């Protein structure tokens, strides 16, 4: 049995302010870690400079502090960890599990291959073209059925053949989220990942990479998403309003309610969170995503 001490994390991308959707992921991962006497890390996922909003990493950290969500150890920034992603990529290349790909988004869209890679460059790049991105060749994995027991969503079973070959390094040279997140979680010793259900689809890819790189797999818990009244996921893209430190007690109370936890009285954020940790019960988190009225 795995007896490693619990290490959890919150891994925001600095592409805007924290909103209620990110708050529930932060609160859930924090309370789950602390109720297991665990460590809670914060990692800024600034892998994608073109999409980074200046000042947002600092803004996110100040907001977390204002909400009483204090992390352990130093904050890690993905922009400073490229050497780790490169060595993982070299390892996968050396074991023959990758291939270069010359397809642009436009090429893929024209053959309906944006969601499922049609295999165009798998057996070689058309001559006159250059393989600028690197993909993981899913069929080379030893796993056929990707199974995991999600601590909120229950038993999952995804067929390898339902996944297209996915990008590890983009044509602009940046590393892809799937590669970086797997490398970082393993390098930081993360044992438990609590995050939004929008990343459920990513987890089978992460499990394949963990196996290919000979890393252990953490436990996963995918929490429900909060939608706005238009049924869009609350996100920076749907202009979800930023959470305000002045309103932290109400927002924390709402977040815990959304997560199906017992009520906590309005108080200082740290006190509310400490009560929430004492009462925390992961089995009470509802599976389904739903509207949150702000």
The residues, any chain, with a CB within 8 Å of residue 278's CB and separated by 6 or more, are 35
Query: Among 24, 33, 38, 45, which residue sits at the site for ligand GLU (rule: CB under 6 A)?
Result: 45
Nearer CB in complex with ligand GLU: 34/195: 195
- Per-residue x/- marks for ligand GLU, 123-152, CB under 6 A? ------------------------------
Q: Residue 276 — φ and ψ, nearest 5°?
A: -65, -35
**Residue 63 interacts with ligand GLU (CB under 6 A)?**
no
- Residue 226 CB, nearest distance to ligand GLU (Å)? 14
Q: Nearest 5°: CA angle at 219, between 256 and 148?
A: 110
Structure tokens at 253: 């109370």
Residues 164-183 that bind ligand GLU (CB under 6 A): 181
- Residue 60 CB, nearest distance to ligand GLU (Å)? 10
- Residue 181 CB, nearest distance to ligand GLU (Å)? 5
Query: Among 199, 225, 240, 273, which residue sits at the site for ligand GLU (rule: CB under 6 A)?
Result: 199
Structure tokens at 156: 């999952």
| Contacting range for ligand GLU; rule: CB under 6 A; set: 7-15, 151-159, 167-175, 284-292 | 7-15
Q: Residue 76 — φ and ψ, nearest 5°?
A: -100, 145
- Residue 130 CB, nearest distance to ligand GLU (Å)? 29
**Residue 209 interacts with ligand GLU (CB under 6 A)?**
no
Nearer CB in complex with ligand GLU: 68/196: 196
**Residue 12 interacts with ligand GLU (CB under 6 A)?**
yes
**Binding footprint of ligand GLU, residue count (CB under 6 A):** 7
- Residue 227 CB, nearest distance to ligand GLU (Å)? 16
**Residue 13 interacts with ligand GLU (CB under 6 A)?**
yes
Query: Among 7, 8, 11, 163, which residue sits at the site for ligand GLU (rule: CB under 6 A)?
Result: 11
- Residue 195 CB, nearest distance to ligand GLU (Å)? 4
**Residue 218 interacts with ligand GLU (CB under 6 A)?**
no
Per CB under 6 A, residues contacting ligand GLU are: 11-13, 45, 181, 195, 199
């Amino acid at each position: 049995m795995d007896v490693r001490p619990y290490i959890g994390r919150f891994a925001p991308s600095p592409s805007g302010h924290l909103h209620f959707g990110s708050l529930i992921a932060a609160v859930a991962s924090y309370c789950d870690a602390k109720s297991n006497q665990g460590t809670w890390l914060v990692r800024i996922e600034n892998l994608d400079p073109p999409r980074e909003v200046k000042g947002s990493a600092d803004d996110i950290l100040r907001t977390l502090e204002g909400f009483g969500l204090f992390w352990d150890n130093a904050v890690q920034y993905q922009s400073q960890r490229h050497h780790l992603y490169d060595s993982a990529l070299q390892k996968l290349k050396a074991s023959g599990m990758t291939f270069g790909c010359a397809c642009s988004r436009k090429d893929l869209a024209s053959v309906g291959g944006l969601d499922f890679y049609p295999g165009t460059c798998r057996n070689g790049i058309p001559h006159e073209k250059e393989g600028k991105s690197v993909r993981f060749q899913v069929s080379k994995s030893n796993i056929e059925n990707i199974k995991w027991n999600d601590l909120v969503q229950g038993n999952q079973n995804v067929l390898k053949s339902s996944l297209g070959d996915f990008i590890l390094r983009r044509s602009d040279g940046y590393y892809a989220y799937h590669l970086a997140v797997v490398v970082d979680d393993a390098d930081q010793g993360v044992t438990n990942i609590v995050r939004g259900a929008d990343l459920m689809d990513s987890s089978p890819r992460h499990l394949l990479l963990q196996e290919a790189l000979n890393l252990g797999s953490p436990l996963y818990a995918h929490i429900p998403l909060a939608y706005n009244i238009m049924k869009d996921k609350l996100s920076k893209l749907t202009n979800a309003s930023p959470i305000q430190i002045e309103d932290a007690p109400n927002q924390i109370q709402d977040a815990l309610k959304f997560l199906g936890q017992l009520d906590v009285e309005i108080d200082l954020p740290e006190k509310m969170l400490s009560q929430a940790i004492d009462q925390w019960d992961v089995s009470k988190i509802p599976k389904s995503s739903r509207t949150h009225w702000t």
